[in-house]
Structure 1
Amino acid sequence: MFATDCVTKVALSIACDNLLDMDAFSKSDPMCVVQLNSSGLHWYEIGRTEKIQNCLNPKFSKSIVLDYYFEAVQKLRFEVYDIDSENCTPEEADFLGQFECTLGQIVSSKKLTKPLVKRDKTPAGKGTITICAEERNDNRVVALEVAARSLDKKDFFGKSDPFLEFYKQTETGWQLAHRTEVVKYNLNPIWKPFRIPIQSLCDGDVEKSIKVQTLQLQAILVKIKNAVFYYDYGVRICILIIICLQIVKEYTFLDYIMGGCQINFTIAIDFTGSNGDPGLPSSLHYINPQGYNEYLAAIWAVGNVIQDYDSDKMFPAFGFGAKLPPTWQVSHEFPINFNPSNPFCAGIEGVIFAYQQCLPQVKLYGPTNFAPIINHVAHFGREALQQQTASQYFVLLIITDGVITDMDQTRNAIVNASRLPMSIIIVGVGAADFSAMEFLDGDNGVLHSATGEAAMRDIVQFVPFRQFQNAGTAALAQSVLAELPDQVASFFNLFDLKPPSDPCPS
């Protein structure tokens, strides 16, 4: 039930330097075997390079191509062997060293160089391995601005509500590729500018025919730029005007990550009284002898994926809904390390440590207000957007057990944040009624503020933790993070912001 499509395919190029020399009368003949572990249980081989004869500094020409999932921790192991004969298997060959990392670490670095180690983790001489990542994807889009004039009136009591349907040609017939918005009550419509992935429209072949269904128009993609098409309905001449058509590159999530965009991860934890006394096993904040509760599980599941995309691994963590010493005033935005000038925790382990130290020092209270912490992160998103670069994107994880008290203010905060480089993940713990959270998640319609203003885009993803109690934390991370790559890329493309350094210049 949690399976998702891969974000894209990634090709890994591998090179080594200063390998151990295992041959008496010549140099080693290296080959690299790549293994994947995405379940946490088993490693399996996904590919191997060619063997390079008599070389201690090989640059392998064969790339290893694999599916990339942002929302999963994909562990990779690179094992280098000295292959002495054509029939020699890795099990029979001399071992030259290995290196383990995640695919997320590679793509966020674009180029990663690390020392090789032996199986006992001691250095394998001075040997190093360099891994480069490259996205394998056609990310061109067709950017269109279209209008029509003198359309036929189809509605008996009013004007038509026109829209366009674009079809691509396949072996089995015409296949719908894109449907525009509906322009209400207008025989001379101008549709909002829109984009269609070139792969969806014509399989990447700009010479293929496409069809616009509404006007029964068929044309060649490369020949309709700045064109006007006439169609005679027998009663009137209808005109379709292609105001502008461009084939442009649309940057992908990996373009931004490999180009230097940092994912800034902030955690907000619900310390309201409805969680129960943390000292009692019935409390959602109770930490059992194994060091586990639903709050810790959610922090670890999401943070374990996100941390690969933040270079300094320093994460601000806040609490809300608690009374704080020494004045015992309620706060809805306090650093759980009690250091307002430096709320950052070192790694996800640091967040977990700060949470455990914070619990006995505060009094759980209320109410459950989201708006303060959303506005706190939005402040930094607004500053980043003013720089007119795609260098930073902000992700806020809110873990809560109850019903939101400041719903109108929260709606307003989310609608405002939808115009910023920011996404919000909400994980509901416990058995409360989370219907209000489902409302904030825009999957069932566009979220509006209390005054009726529509969100620019859907930035909220909500899941109840109870759905994943038997599936494990990896499934939780997969569910809440699956939409994030598209949210990042679509936001920066919407504002026409390129990666800080273009990894694949046109």
Structure 2
Amino acid sequence: YTQSSWPFGRTEVIDNTLNPDFVRKYILDYFFEEKQNLRFDDFLGQVYCTLGEIVGSPASRLEKPLGGIPGKKCGTIILSAEELGNCRDYTTMQFCANKLDKKDFFGKSDPFMVFYRSNEDGTFTICHKTEVMKNTLNPVWQPFSIPVRALCNGDYDRTIKVEVYDWDRDGSHDFIGEFTTSYKELCRGQSQLNVYEVSGDKDRNPSQSTSLHYMNPYQMNAYAMALKAVGEIIQDYDSDKMFPALGFGAKLPPDGRVSHEFPLNGNIENPYCNGMQGILEAYHQSLKTVQLYGPTNFAPVVNHVARYAAAVQDGSQYFVLLIITDGVISDMAQTKEAIVNAAKLPMSIIIVGVGQAEFDAMVELDGDDVRISSRGKLAERDIVQFVPFRDYMDRTGNHVLSMARLAKDVLAEIPDQLISYMKSRGIKPNTDPPPAYSPGDNAV
């Protein structure tokens, strides 16, 4: 309500949430020299303020407690304002998506999009929601028209953030991913320049039980279980039990730069961890120090291991790269090229997919049905083995047997891949080493 006690607007209703983010915005004329009283009514109570209070607050953002029930905290209302630009343009847009992440255990996702305008202080304000498309991973949303200043306040270069969710009836919508763009980019129209990878994961917060990285005090998460199952077997073929462990897709302290090949132990000079226990400890520690972040790029870690493999091609060493992923990949073309190049080297790649994604991209990288290629060049040999972790979840709860089957299946192709490399290079096994001592030597 304005000071004349006439209502100037009513928000939309948002079901099943205690933290609503309203889309509907209102335009008010602001007069510096006048006191413009405002009143906001909620079923829990009322909030009084002036338009000058909002405008004069830091970043023009005012928080006020809702009052109405004595002795009860009823929450907070957040009011923000921004001076509107002179742009009067409207734009009509239509979006579609392909192969979105599957979030529902039964059936497909029910996706919808949420658009946010970036503010001058770096925060984001919701400005549009699409309709929900039921039971599809390839939605085509209806065209919609929106004022350009609602998207970017007339600044064509200002960042626009778009989030994609899977709708749930109880209001706990599952986050599928996000991307950023600008109105300037969107104006390019329908083309490859306006194709975006939907990446990132709000479930990446390890402290949230919905996260695949959630550190349950009573049970290892899927990442740790897969790492332990495969690693405890393959570590026996390494003499010193020291393993380099890398993470990808995170903002690193202290400056928040995004990295796709950072050491889990935080030591860029020495990324080696002592055995599987050392890797698990480094993994858990890294979750406390880095901010998991998209996009998800595989090529840097594949090329990282390939550089080591390229330096030792005499058959004395063979490298195995274990990648554990939720299936989202943002650099498919670059990863294919990296794998094709790595197929000439003494290395194999194991990919374990965790979560409920549709892992189509991982199956393509596996190359069992169609040999992987890049720029018309076929991989010299198949070096990738992919398995989805969910196929090994024992319904009886016997994780020991399940993880044993997982390790057996992902490691089954390694011996043949190693032999195929050695044979292709004409490398034969070494003769038996000489005895440690000769007859007549003193021995203890």
TM-score, normalisation: structure 2: 0.50
In the alignment, what sits opposite 1:475?
Answer: 405
SS of the equivalent of 2:349 reads strand
Structure 2: which amino acid aligns with 1:362?
A: V
Cα 1:272–1:343 change in 2 (3 A) is farther
For residues 335 and 462 of structure 1, what CA distance do their matches in structure 2 show?
A: 23
Among candidates 423, 428, 441, match of residue 498 of structure 1? 428
SS of the equivalent of 2:245 reads strand
C-alpha RMSD of the superposition:
1.6
Among candidates 438, 445, 451, match of residue 370 of structure 2? 445
- Are 1:341 and 2:341 an aligned pair? no
Identity of aligned residues (%): 58
- Are 1:455 and 2:385 an aligned pair? no
In the alignment, what sits opposite 2:288?
Answer: 360
Structure 1: which amino acid aligns with 2:404?
A: A
For residues 495 and 372 of structure 1, what CA distance do their matches in structure 2 show?
A: 26
For residues 448 and 502 of structure 1, what CA distance do their matches in structure 2 show?
A: 39
SS of the equivalent of 1:472 reads helix
- Are 1:429 and 2:357 an aligned pair? no
SS of the equivalent of 1:412 reads helix
For residues 410 and 316 of structure 1, what CA distance do their matches in structure 2 show?
A: 20
The answer (yes or no) to whether the contact 1:275–1:401 under 8 Å persists in 2 is no
- Give ranges in structure 1 of 5+ residues lacking alignment: 1-270
The answer (yes or no) to whether the contact 1:419–1:456 under 8 Å persists in 2 is yes
Among candidates 462, 484, 488, match of residue 418 of structure 2? 488
For residues 408 and 378 of structure 2, what CA distance do their matches in structure 1 show?
A: 28
For residues 433 and 351 of structure 2, what CA distance do their matches in structure 1 show?
A: 32
Shift of 1:499: 2.7
- Are 1:295 and 2:246 an aligned pair? no
SS of the equivalent of 1:366 reads coil
1:254-333 map, 5 Å: 273=201, 275-333=203-261
For residues 395 and 459 of structure 1, what CA distance do their matches in structure 2 show?
A: 10
SS of the equivalent of 1:392 reads coil
Structure 1: which amino acid aligns with 2:208?
A: L
Summarize deviations over 1:349-386 as a string: whole Å, max 9, x none: 0000111111011111110100000000000110001x
Shift of 1:273: 3.2
Shift of 1:291: 4.2
1:84-103 map, 5 Å: none
In the alignment, what sits opposite 2:337?
Answer: 412
Cα 1:275–1:448 change in 2 (3 A) is farther
- Give ranges in structure 2 of 5+ residues lacking alignment: 1-198, 395-400, 435-444
For residues 403 and 292 of structure 1, what CA distance do their matches in structure 2 show?
A: 22
Q: Name the count of aligned residue pairs.
A: 230
Cα 1:477–1:272 change in 2 (3 A) is farther
The answer (yes or no) to whether the contact 1:274–1:401 under 8 Å persists in 2 is no
Among candidates 396, 399, 402, match of residue 324 of structure 2? 399
SS of the equivalent of 2:258 reads strand
1:56-205 map, 5 Å: none
Structure 2: which amino acid aligns with 1:434?
A: F
For residues 441 and 493 of structure 1, what CA distance do their matches in structure 2 show?
A: 22
1:37-56 map, 5 Å: none
Shift of 1:313: 0.2
The answer (yes or no) to whether the contact 2:327–2:362 under 8 Å persists in 1 is no
For residues 433 and 426 of structure 2, what CA distance do their matches in structure 1 show?
A: 16
Whose strand proportion is higher, 1 or 2?
1
In the alignment, what sits opposite 2:309?
Answer: 381
Summarize deviations over 1:33-70 as a string: whole Å, max 9, x none: xxxxxxxxxxxxxxxxxxxxxxxxxxxxxxxxxxxxxx
